[in-house]
Amino acid sequence: MVARPRVVVTGNARRWSPSWWCTQLTLRLLGARAIRVSTRHRVSRNAEVDALIIGGGDDISPNHYGQPAKPDGDYDPARDALEIEWIQWALKTNTPMLGICRGAQLINVVLGGELNQNIRSLRKRTYNRPGLLPTKQVWLDTRSTVRAATRKGKLRVNSLHYQVVTRPGEGMRAVGWDLDEFIQATEHSTRAIMGVQWHPEYLFYLSSERRIFAWLLDCVSARKERP
């Protein structure tokens, strides 16, 4: 029997974590095994890990990208440190990586990128109300891996964020934008790294969103097939 790919999924440490359960279900449907990692769920980076998903959640401490913290910021320094270590490990080992919302932001930050901490007042063509349903639009670069993976030039997505990447990290490029031209997707030019600002795990019932996770597993397969 072929072993199922093992995918580390980072996130918050709460007992009730819908994002974790939805991601785990999506990966299981695609034939992979999800391994939960948080400040309460520790896994050795020496263990056999085939891919990494950095999940959504709390704001990233602005100290990591050279900005002052906001008085009302919701930060989790311990989670920042844990996920930064996993991202650095994935970069060192060339492990395929997917960032979701906060995760997409943190990957770019680790690679030297910057964020806007609050875009609410800057929105002109889209509303700020968060939601899990696919009510917002994202346009994808015609040459992007995200477009090839989802098989869509325009996606309907959900939105829970009010922070975005304003300057992609080294090697990363913007490949998706919303109506206000805020970056919604990034990907690495040479590595198997993708970041999406929405939450595809909550949209697992859409084939285009499942394909984002399928892309990650395809990268695992391709890596194992290399001589």
Question: What residues are labeled active site?
Answer: 101, 199, 201
Q: Name residues whose C-beta falls within 8 Å of residue 150's C-beta, 6 or more positions apart in sequence.
A: 140, 208, 209, 211, 212
Is residue 50 a contact partner of residue 5, using CB atoms and an 8 Å limit? yes
Tokens of 85: 């270590």
| Closest to 169 (Cα-Cα) out of 124, 106, 221 | 106
Is residue 17 a contact partner of residue 60, using CB atoms and an 8 Å limit? no
